[in-house]
Chain A
Amino acid sequence: MPTLTLNDAVGLALAEEMRRDHKVIAFGEGIATKRHELVTEFGALRVRNTPLAEGIIAGTAVGAAAGGLRPVADLLFAPFLCYAMDELVNSAGKLRYMSGGQFSFPLVTLAMTGAGWGIGAQHNHNIEAWFVHSPGLKVVMPSTPADARGLLKAAIRDDNPVVFLLDIGLLYQPGEVPHEADPMPLGQAATLRSGNDVSLISYGKTVHHCEQAAESLATEGITAEVIDLRSLKPLDEAAILATARKTGRVVVVHEANRLCGVGAEVAALLAEQAFTRLKAPVIRLGGPDAPVPSSFPLEQATVPQADAIAAAARRLSAPQPA
């Protein structure tokens, strides 16, 4: 299998989809500079640099999608999506419904987020839950290059607006990407490791921290199941419920603020539908209710690390008070 970085896997998926469907176009702040090979192959009309103006970039994507194209808009960093919020939330997310189903909005917005660059809170803010909370939008956040490629292909083919988030900390990590070019359906979690004692449910870079935690737990005789959600909306509720019913112990982990984060939704789902099968309370590990600081050690401290995840799993695996 070829090895690619997540960033290159995104480029590969864009090229494959643009080749397959001439309606796919890509624009954004510097995309024609940074992915110049796309301009070379598909021309300057289909791959464009834009003015620095997230609102009109997103709005143009929404309008073009309604008009029959399949735009991919690169908005660089997740906090910049704040300038595009109206277009994404009020238009892309609502106008299909509000028009009684007359229009659809097959568009993808790409944005990077997460710790790893130490560049501060206006570049690093994990706001994925905001979009999960907004009707009409799908939300994807892959943890490997292979998933990024497969999920991006599905997102581009999807008839709904998809917010596609790229974890900065994973962007330049290499990973194997299969030769087959099939899209991966949105809304399917991946079981990365099977176990019977505790479930570690996550997405983005903390999936890898869960895998490291599972390794160390294994040496202590605790077998952990690691689930990568991959897509946050649709959320693979069946996979979440299945692993919880199997192990009875769940740690949900993400880098985003714990308060009203995706982990809260997972915990609520388990309380509602798997309560009797839980052997211990669900533990959520997430970032603090604070903007992400630039200073390296503080930035790292916002991210649930493998040690903390393993410690939580151990707590759950110890005999619970009656």
Chain B
Amino acid sequence: MNTFSNAVEPLRLYEQLLLIRAYENAIVRGSTEGRIPGTCTSVGQEAAAVGAINALSADDLILTNHRSAGHLLARGADPGRMLAEVMGRRDGYCMGKSGSLHISVKELGVVLTTTIVGGELSLAPGVALAQTMQGRPGIVACFFGDGAACEGSFHESLNLAALWNLPVLYICENNQWQAFVHRREAMSRERVADWGAGYGIPVRTVDGNDVFAVLEATREAASQVRDTRRPALLEMTTYRTRGHFEPDDQGYVDKAELAAWLARDPIAICRDRLIAAGRLAPAADAELAARVDSRIATAVAFAAASPFPAVEELTLDVYA
């Protein structure tokens, strides 16, 4: 509970959770109806994204992966431009070249996004090197999954960042799944943090479904990186509740495990805490939900009205 009182604007965090959920649900609905391409949603992982991103400073740089909608929205990305990108439209953040899986928004410090699993881990030390050598204060936050931690690039990245004293905060969203393989079937250790410790990097683990705990843990880890100019690793334990990529019937998922995690829904946890603390009345909750829904409805309409890029743009931006 002590973490809760440290959150400057708990309602703002809550609203971001709602926004991410509504955004992802709009994609799910749209893809079922064939209006929006399917994608990897972050449903179930909203607290990890919101808690971590809100603990970063404006001058920190972010690298992320295919399951990035939460990171982008929490950082302030416009859901309309994100949806336009998902739909391959001209007003998307990447002019329709990216689609959903690799949206970067340089103006928000989301500098590189890659869907090559482990790609962000390969790039993070270099981004941090550029920060350090040019005397910039911001640290580098690198978001990745438990699956990415199985790639060689994870291990190479941690070793180099530790060796060269690079200010990288490695943030693992351990959502228990690596596409259609459970992490139990793919990792020699229970936790990614165990591996980080092997490289002499300070590690922390946190309940990724408790937005206030994530906020606190990320603040601690980020200030450690900021103060020491050395890497740290934060592992957030969470769960991917909607499957890998829409549509996904999750026939391969253990029903009891899924049910247990659905019972720990990050939005419900946050709402209950706010209500218990007297910070959220039912009417205010409904108002927030309505505001978020209308924002997403506007975003969907904006994206759908955006034109497709002209065919001439096919070869634009290949070379500098």
**Residues of A at under 8 Å CB distance from B?**
29-30, 33-34, 36, 49-56, 79-80, 82-83, 118-123, 288-291, 293-299, 301-302
Contacts and interface: CB of A to CB of B under 8 A. Distances in A.
B186 A298 contact: no
A294 B99 contact: yes
B186 A297 contact: no
Nearest to B245: A119
Interface in B208-252: 252
A120 B98 CA distance: 6
11 contacts: A29-B179, A52-B118, A52-B147, A56-B152, A118-B99, A122-B101, A122-B114, A288-B314, A290-B315, A295-B96, A297-B88
Contacts, number: 115
B186 A49 contact: yes
A297 B311 contact: yes
Interface of chain A, helix or strand or loop or mixed?
loop
B59 interface: no
B195 interface: no
Given A79-B116, A294-B96, A294-B98, 13 more contacts: A29-B181, A30-B181, A49-B186, A52-B118, A120-B99, A120-B101, A121-B97, A123-B115, A293-B97, A293-B309, A294-B97, A295-B308, A298-B314
B117 interface: yes
A97 to B, nearest CB: 26
Contact of B88 (A50, A51, A118, A121): A118
Which 10 residue pairs are nearest across A and B when measured between Cβ atoms?
A: A294-B99, A295-B88, A295-B96, A30-B180, A51-B150, A33-B180, A52-B147, A51-B186, A49-B181, A293-B97
Contacts of A33: 180-181, 252
B308 to A, nearest CB: 5
Interface of B: 37, 88-89, 96-102, 114-119, 147-148, 150-152, 178-181, 185-187, 252, 308-309, 311, 313-315, 318
A289 B117 contact: no
Contacts of B115: 120, 122-123
A52 B119 CA distance: 12
Nearest to B92: A295
A134 B252 CA distance: 38
Given A118-B99, A301-B311, A296 B152 contact: no
B319 to A, nearest CB: 9
A118 B37 contact: yes
A51 B102 CA distance: 22
Of the listed residues B152, B181, B311, the one surrounded by the most CB atoms of chain A closer than 10 A to its CB is: B181
A293 B308 CA distance: 12
A274 B116 CA distance: 43
B96 A293 contact: yes
B254 to A, nearest CB: 12
A53 B152 contact: yes
Contacts of A55: 151-152
A120 B100 CA distance: 9
B318 A289 contact: yes
Nearest to A297: B308
A313 B308 CA distance: 30
